[in-house]
Amino acid sequence: MGDILAVIVLEEAKNKVAGGAPIFIVWDREEQEKLALLLSKILKAMAHDLENGVFILTRH
């Protein structure tokens, strides 16, 4: 099973996530996608868009 390494959430969706992994709160979709790409490269992880204002980064 994979591990969730980080969560990137839009400001308006921040109440949808809690604890367990680092949470990055961003202001807009463009910033969210850029941060997801950068962190996925740094962490050697996969970014998954949950389509509710939340991205998760996982390692399988």
Confidence of residue 46 (pLDDT cuts 50, 70, 90): very high
The H-or-E segment that residue 3 falls in is: strand 3-10
Residue 4: what pLDDT? 95
With beta carbons less than 8 A apart as the criterion, state whether 34 and 7 touch: no
33-48: average pLDDT: 97
Question: What is the spatial distance between Cα 47 and Cα 58, in angstroms, rounded to a whole number?
Answer: 7
Query: What pLDDT digit, counting tens, does each position of 1-36 carry?
Result: 689 999 999 999 999 899 899 999 999 999 999 999
Residue 60: what pLDDT? 83
Q: Give, in order, the Cα–Cα distances in Å from 16 to each of 1, 5, 35.
A: 23, 17, 19
